[in-house]
């Protein structure tokens, strides 16, 4: 069947342009450009050329991650005066139609979905939460999403599966080395409440029982893929902090100091800290709702100055019971956070619990409310992170640089 049987070539051209525009606009571009679009075999050559001009390719591949193109030329049946279309159904939470023309249906795949299991008091994600995840996904407006919603998801930020597995292994091996050293000094990280209480150390900092930061050197993070991921995230964060130039900026004369380039110069690049890991152990409980840093002032909403990049690695993202991180959208704003903390009945409408796959990342304003989900699996779950911040900002972390876990073991 000819999908373009209209006698009006102008109408066909307009429809092609509309379809091509919808395809290009809904391709998610995170750190790695995704250039494969799943298309029905009937996709015509003029449409292929239009999409190819944008650097994308239409292929007959149902596993392509972003956009599905379906033809309207599908069988229909008539029974009892009712016409039923036999179009391929869009899977629940799996795809969202974004355009329907006379001849075509363009459906955007959900690149990242929400937590389907839930934990008390939060139930499994509903359709609204899945939609909130989708609004956070990357793309050309990643910086705007980060600025307005407080976080942005960057799907496929790192695509090197071997490097991702190596980074996960490094994090868990470093944790195990620290754990064994502390066990020799009477601290048992796997059995909280027995033996001596753990402290924060040079290599490891406790968050709460069965959840800790591992700062020990992650050798795999020297891989080019991770350095590139950090650059991409820092660029998105920097753009998110850049608002319309003020006519008063000439008065910011102190920007001539400390090797800066003066009040009219563009802002300096944000600094990226070393990669480290949050390790969540089996049995770790849900974290309390918190923000990682305060606002600089509480009488005016300023752009972010401190961001965190969370990167899912290894096999544990596959297990939904291993838990990841939940966020309260928009709560990086003073007014929204004030309302939600005064009356928590609105939290559910802002809740988003993205299910990241290995290589996916979430970049968030450190002022946003969030909490780690419980680890109900039997797996140790590493979540790699890096801090991204203004050059003048210093985060007083929980590390104790004066005490090493290995010194503690040696002096016991």
Question: 3-state SS of 41-98?
Answer: CCCCHHHHHHHHCCCCEEECCCCCCCEEEEECCCCEEEECCEEEECCCCCCCCCEEEE
Does residue 179 fall inside a structural domain?
yes
- What digits encode the pLDDT tens for the residues 250-277? 888 888 887 677 887 888 899 999 899 9
How far is residue 360 from each of residues 129, 219, 233, 333, 364, measured CA to CA in Å?
18, 20, 12, 25, 13
Q: Which residues of the chain carry a pLDDT beneath 50?
A: 1-7, 30-34, 75-78, 80-81, 83-93, 410
Does residue 122 fall inside a structural domain?
no
237 with 101, same domain: the answer is: no
Spatial CB neighbours of 381, under 8 Å, sequence gap ≥ 6: 279, 280, 281, 316, 322, 323, 375
87 with 166, same domain: the answer is: no
225 with 285, same domain: the answer is: yes
pLDDT of residue 403: 85
Does residue 48 fall inside a structural domain?
yes
Q: Which of 80, 110, 140 is the last residue of a domain?
A: 110
DSSP-derived 3-state class of residue 264:
coil
Dist. CA 387–CA 410, nearest whole Å: 31
- Residue 121: is the preceding peptide bond cis (ω within 30°)? yes
Look up the domain containing 397 and give its range.
131-243+252-410
- What digits encode the pLDDT tens for the residues 88-131? 444 344 556 677 887 777 777 677 888 888 887 888 888 888 88
Does residue 120 fall inside a structural domain?
no
pLDDT of residue 87: 45
148 with 204, same domain: the answer is: yes
Does residue 124 fall inside a structural domain?
no
- Phi and psi for 13 in degrees, rounded to 5? -65, -40
What is the CATH number for 287? 2.60.120.620
Dist. CA 109–CA 91, nearest whole Å: 9
């Amino acid at each position: 069947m000819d999908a373009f049987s209209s006698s009006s070539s102008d109408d066909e051209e307009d429809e092609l342009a509309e379809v091509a525009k919808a395809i290009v606009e809904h391709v998610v571009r995170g750190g790695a450009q995704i250039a494969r679009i799943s298309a029905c075999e009937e996709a015509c050559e003029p449409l292929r050329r239009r999409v190819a001009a944008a650097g994308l390719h239409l292929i007959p591949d149902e596993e392509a991650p972003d956009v599905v193109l379906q033809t309207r030329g599908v069988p229909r049946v008539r029974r009892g005066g009712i016409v039923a279309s036999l179009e391929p159904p869009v899977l629940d939470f799996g795809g969202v139609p974004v355009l329907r023309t006379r001849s075509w249906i363009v459906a955007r795949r959900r690149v990242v979905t929400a937590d389907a299991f839930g934990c008390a008091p939060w139930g499994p994600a509903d359709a609204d939460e899945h939609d909130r995840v989708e609004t956070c996904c990357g793309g050309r407006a990643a910086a705007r999403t980060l600025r307005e919603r407080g976080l942005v998801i960057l799907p496929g930020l790192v695509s090197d599966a071997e490097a991702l597995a190596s980074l996960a292994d490094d994090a868990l091996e470093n944790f195990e080395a620290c754990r064994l050293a502390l066990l020799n000094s009477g601290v048992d990280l796997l059995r909280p409440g027995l033996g001596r209480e753990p402290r924060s150390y040079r290599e490891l900092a406790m968050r709460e029982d069965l959840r800790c930061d591992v700062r020990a050197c992650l050798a795999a993070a020297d891989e080019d893929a991770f350095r590139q991921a950090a650059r991409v995230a820092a660029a998105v964060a920097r753009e998110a902090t850049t608002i319309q130039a003020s006519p008063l900026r000439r008065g910011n004369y102190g920007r001539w100091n400390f090797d800066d380039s003066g009040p009219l110069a563009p802002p300096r690049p944000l600094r990226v800290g070393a990669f480290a890991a949050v390790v969540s152990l089996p049995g770790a409980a849900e974290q309390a709702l918190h923000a990682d840093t305060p606002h600089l002032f509480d009488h005016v909403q300023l752009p972010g100055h401190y961001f965190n990049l969370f990167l899912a690695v290894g096999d544990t993202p596959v297990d939904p019971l291993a838990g990841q991180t939940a966020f309260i959208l928009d709560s990086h704003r003073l007014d929204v956070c004030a309302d939600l903390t005064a009356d928590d009945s609105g939290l559910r409408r802002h809740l988003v619990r993205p299910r990241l796959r290995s290589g996916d990342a979430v970049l968030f304003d450190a002022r946003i409310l969030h909490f780690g989900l419980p680890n109900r699996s039997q797996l140790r779950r590493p979540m790699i992170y890096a801090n991204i911040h203004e050059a003048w900002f210093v985060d007083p972390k929980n590390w104790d640089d004066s005490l090493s876990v290995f010194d503690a073991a040696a002096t016991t």
